[in-house]
Amino acid sequence: MAENPTAKIIVVDDEAAQMKALCDTLMGYGYETTGFASALAALKAMEETKFDLLLTDLMMPEVDGISLLRAARQMDPDLVGIIMTGEGTINTAVEAIKSGALDYILKPFKLKAILPVLDRALAVRKLRMDNAALEQRIRERTAELEAANKELEAFSYSVSHDLRAPLRHIEGFAGLLMRSHDSTLSAADTRYLNLIVNSVGQMTELIDDLLDFSRMGRAEMQRSQVDLPELVEKVIQALQPEVEGRNIVWKKGPLPVVHADPSLLRQVFTNLLANAIKYSRGRDPAEIEIGCVNETSETVIFVRDNGAGFDMRFADKLFGVFQRLHSKEEFEGTGIGLANVRRIIARHGGRTWAESKVNEGATFYFSLPNSVDRA
């Protein structure tokens, strides 16, 4: 019996007796068969009824089997065609396959040869239809994501303009109050106004970081050759204002040239090195190491410091938005930097993770796949 008892097969053969015999035989194996001795009549039937398989003779007076199959597949691209021929030449088989036929079977028919071909043809049809359904879902999902991105862009615009305006007003008027009433304000009033100004600054920083996080997921990737030693040096130079007066020992191991987005990768190193500088603030000397480990499938880059460290029980929170393992009184920040790192590296096809012990420093790792990103 056929694996799918409801499979509908249309059989076209100008030799009516042979066509009817094949239909009757296949019905006995669970197929629903419809037979035609005329190719034109078969085409008309296919306009009105959907079939799973087409078995057509190759040589027919009205329309040959290859032309019939081409016309039928224009109506239903999922239709699977099988050519029946008594010639059995290689050229015939090749031409049939080129026309879109899945296979061909030789006359006179042998049932043990036909049934496996039909089972395979039905499996191919199911795969085609599943693929078509998957592609449709992908198209729908892509449209949904594009709509969501447009909404996100609108939100980013709103944050950038609508929320910044009242913050500027608050900061401006608080400053005016401090300047115009400086001599009459009590110590408590001055402290309150300073708290307002500082809070506005923190809120502005949070808005900026949120916008960066939003842009990071939408920015188009521009991959090129990136010399990591050169990139790291530039980032360290840019961070010099944060290390003034600090005793920092930089340890830089060999780093490779990679194929990546240079601006996004610069953001990764900026966040990781800035964190290492910040969280090693209480160390003299502070030690910050940058190095790499070459694996078979990926290159792993690490940034290590001897700073405050963290409890590994909470390591899963590190790369989340707004996640902080230290209070703002201890270390400033919004908790978005590492979330940006993870998002950037994920877009490169890599991984991010960290290892640490409290008061013994931390090591942050990210990987770039060798098969894609290594130069």
User: 59-94: per-residue pLDDT in tens?
Assistant: 888 888 889 998 998 898 888 998 888 765 656 767
The number of beta carbons lying within 10 Å of the beta carbon of residue 135 is 10
User: What's the CATH number for 8-109?
Assistant: 3.40.50.2300
Q: CA end-to-end span of the chain, whole Å?
A: 56
Confidence check: pLDDT of 339 > 80: yes
Q: Would 8-109 and 224-373 be classified into the same CATH topology?
A: no
Confidence check: pLDDT of 288 > 60: yes
Per-domain residue ranges of the chain: 8-109, 147-218, 224-373
Residue type, position 198, single letter: N
pLDDT of residue 226: 93
User: Would you say 65 and 31 are in contact if contact means Cβ atoms under 8 Å apart?
Assistant: no
Q: Which fold has domain 224-373?
A: Heat Shock Protein 90 (3.30.565)
As a whole number, the mean pLDDT across the chain is 82
pLDDT band at 43 (very low <50, low <70, confident <90, very high): very high
Q: 29-38, 141-150, 175-184: which has the highest mean pLDDT? A: 29-38
**pLDDT mean over 1-18:** 79
**pLDDT mean over 157-162:** 70
| Residue pointed to by tokens 């862009």 | 153
The number of beta carbons lying within 10 Å of the beta carbon of residue 50 is 11
Spell out where the chain has E strands. Answer: 8-12, 32-36, 53-57, 80-85, 101-106, 224-227, 248-252, 257-260, 286-294, 298-305, 352-356, 362-369
Q: Using CA atoms, how far apart are residues 367 and 345, in angstroms rounded to an integer? A: 7
312: nearest Cα among 268, 364, 272, 368: 364
